[in-house]
Structure 1
Amino acid sequence: MYLKKILTLFTFIAFTFSSNAEETKQRDLNTEFNVYTGMFDFSDDGKKSTLIGFQHQNENLNRDTFLGNLSPITGALITADNAAYVYTGVEAQYKIGSLNFNPSFAPGLYHEGDGKDLGHVLEFKSELQISLDLSESSQFGFSYNHLSNASLGSKNPGANSYMFNFFKSF
């Protein structure tokens, strides 16, 4: 039931924000939104939970560095167990044809809700996204991340998650 609602939301977003090629060429495409869903802490059978999230990236803030093209990201996710994570960080962008590799690092604030106790309110998210260009302004991909408090708390169980992503640039 929950997954059906998520798929309906993805379909709505894809059709709502789709545009023809002529409109895309006339715009600057400097803002990217990423809507994703997946499984929070899939490696812990007792506390795994579905999740949905949203991420924003303003490509006007991208900078070319010795590490590649870097950009700030901001986002949030919530699980079916009412755990929530709000974050801001940096993402690197590497492109090979229509394939995109985007590793990122983002510190953020975690609220346990009825979900897993990660040991501290401050958690660090390391993530790798792999996506494929669907058009000039949209992508579909897969990502994996790990949340950890870097032993700031009395315990540091961490959480491993995977997500399916839909990206749209405006």
Structure 2
Amino acid sequence: MDGTLAVIWLITSLTDMGLNECPIGCTRLQDAPSRLSLQAANVIFQEDEIGQEIYLGYDAPYRYGPFHVTYGASVTDDGAAWIGAGAKWTTRNLSDKPFFIESSFMPGLYTQGDGPDLGGALHFRAAIGAGYVFGNGATLTVSYDHRSNGDTQDINPGLETLAIRYAISLD
């Protein structure tokens, strides 16, 4: 997997910004639902499932245009860890149904532990997911993500996760 998920995030969020945000201020600061999330994932390295990961996330109570500020940290069962911050885009104007699609891009730091050598500490994590919003604001999302160093190092094999995430609304 290359930078395809990062490109999806860029296209979806910038298209939404152009169509829906720019008439009122492209990156205007706005309120957004804050959420705390817990995610369980299978870790995939070079097409082989190599373990599991637990991810804790926080979506801030604000966004800049379509860019919802998000933070995350994860650890795998082999001691590899990642921590980062970035932006998430979520469908808001496509449907009044409780289903949504989201994409995200988060630069962060990776430590290998007993996990695979991904080539350095700086890693970019991009994801795409589909989910459901419950009446109380909680969400359930299935997602796929890819992280790599974006060819900033000589070694760049990348790592993927296939996950399910439950998030509670803090509002």
Shift of residue 149, structure 1, vs aligned partner: 0.5
Q: Which runs of 5+ in 1 are unaligned?
A: 1-27
Q: Distance in 2 between matches of 1:63 and 1:99?
A: 22
Letter in 2 for 1:56: Y
Q: Could you list the runs of 4 or more consecutive aligned residues of structure 1 that deviate by over 4 angstroms after TM superposition?
A: none
* Residue-by-residue CA offset, 1:128-162 (whole Å, 9 max, x unaligned): 12111122321111010000111111210001111
* Contact residue 144 and residue 163 of structure 1 kept, 8 A: yes
The alignment partner of 1:75 has SS state of: strand
Contact 2:75-2:82 at 8 Å conserved across structures: yes
Render the CA deviation track for 1:91-119: whole Å, top value 9, x for unaligned. 11113311111100000000000011101
Q: What is the Cα deviation at residue 167 of structure 1?
A: 1.0
| Corresponding position of 1:142 | 142
2:91 partner SS: strand
% same residue: 25
State the Cα RMSD in Å. Answer: 1.8
Please say if residues 109 and 121 of structure 2, whose CA atoms lie closer than 8 Å, have aligned partners that are also in contact: yes
Structure-1 residue corresponding to 2:76? 79
Which residue is equivalent to 1:48?
50
Aligned to 2:7: none
Structure 2 regions of 5+ residues with no counterpart?
1-30
Distance 1:29 1:108 in 2: 23
Shift of 1:31: 2.0
Given that 1:42 and 1:162 are in contact with CA atoms closer than 8 Å, whether structure 2 keeps it comes out as no
Partner of 2:41: 38
Instruction: Report what 1:155 is aligned to.
Output: 155
Equivalences for 1:4-153 in 2 at 5 Å?
Answer: 30-41=33-44, 43-45=46-48, 48-59=50-61, 61-64=62-65, 69-95=66-92, 96=95, 97-153=97-153
Change (3 A) 1:155 1:42: closer
Rounded to whole Å, the distance in 1 between the matches of 2:118 and 2:91 is 31
> Does the 8 Å contact 2:127/2:144 carry over to 1?
yes
CA distances 1:36-82 after superposition (whole Å, capped 9, x unpaired): 0011126543x7110101110113x2132xxxx21111010000000
Counterpart amino acid of residue 167 in structure 1: A
Change (3 A) 1:63 1:113: same
Mapped to 2, the partners of 1:128 and 1:37 lie a distance apart of 15
Aligned to 1:14: none
When the two structures are superposed, what TM-score results if normalisation uses the length of structure 2? 0.75
User: May I ask how many residue pairs the two structures share in their alignment?
Assistant: 137
